[in-house]
Amino acid sequence: MKRIGLVGGMTPESTAAYYRMLVELGRQRWDDPVRNPVVIIYSIDLAEIVAHQDVSDSDRVVELLSGVLERLRVAGAEIGALTANTPHLFFDRIRARTSLPLVHIVDATLRRARGLGIRRALLLGTEATMASSMYPEAFASEGIELVIPDEDDRRFVNRSIYRDLAAGEVSPELRDAYLGICRRQIERCGVEAIVLGCTELPLVLRDGDLPIPLVDTARCHAEAIFAGAVADG
């Protein structure tokens, strides 16, 4: 099995979830509680990335993340991934600056959505992710329309991701607010699924909360990373 390299810290909450999922996937495959995938994690200081994103200094973000991936490769990683959605806005530029093979979160998520047979879904994530064409263009290629919340709800989601979910803080009020956003879009737009386009969102929204399925991008990504790591094993 290939050694897995994760760029973590975006946030630590989601990084820990990725690690747990990869371990669970290994145990399911091998039916052996003491056999685990080899995972190398480089946990970055998210504040540095956010600071450059906020001033639209994408060159510096690309430089930082590709440099971390190269450090993971030198440390022994044979397949790599960014454990957050927003940095995938720069995925092609990052991939061009590292020789470590990478697994794309959007590709993994699209496979899951296609399997559900949906035609319209709500996308939640950071403001940058919701405003970008990254998910809509990929999903449109499979005939799936993505809608996003209205401006006030987008601001709320973005703020809560960086303020609450990044710290692992989920209050009943926060859950209720998210459920309200989702229910409004189900009623107004007839969405058939919710795409959790931020890897922290599974902290606040869980399967069974709503009458439609959740597409957890972190889980889709972790499964694709694991599949890539064992492809030749």
Provide the domain limits for residue 68. Answer: 4-105+220-230
pLDDT at 56: 75
Q: How confident is the model at residue 216 (pLDDT cuts 50, 70, 90)?
A: very high
What is the rounded average pLDDT for all residues in the chain?
A: 95
DSSP string over 28-47: HHH--TT----EEEEE--HH
Is 108 within 8 Å of 221 (Cβ atoms)?
A: yes
How large is the average pLDDT for residues 185-207? 97
pLDDT at 161: 96
9 and 100 assigned to the same domain: yes
58 and 92 assigned to the same domain: yes
127 and 204 assigned to the same domain: yes
Domain assignment present for 111? no
How large is the average pLDDT for residues 166-170? 94
122 and 192 assigned to the same domain: yes
User: How many Cβ atoms are within 10 Å of 144's Cβ, its own excluded?
Assistant: 22
Whether residue 176 is predicted with pLDDT greater than 60 in this model: the reply is yes
pTM of this prediction exceeds 0.85: yes
Is 138 within 8 Å of 112 (Cβ atoms)?
A: no
Domain assignment present for 15? yes
Q: How confident is the model at residue 233 (pLDDT cuts 50, 70, 90)?
A: low
| Count of domains observed in the chain | 2
- Could you report the per-residue pLDDT of 22-62, keeping only the tens digit for each? 999 999 999 888 899 999 999 999 888 888 876 578 899 99
- Could you report the per-residue pLDDT of 126-164, keeping only the tens digit for each? 999 999 999 999 999 999 999 999 999 999 999 999 999
The two tokens of residue 135 are 């998910």
Residue 83 φ/ψ, nearest 5 degrees: -90, 45
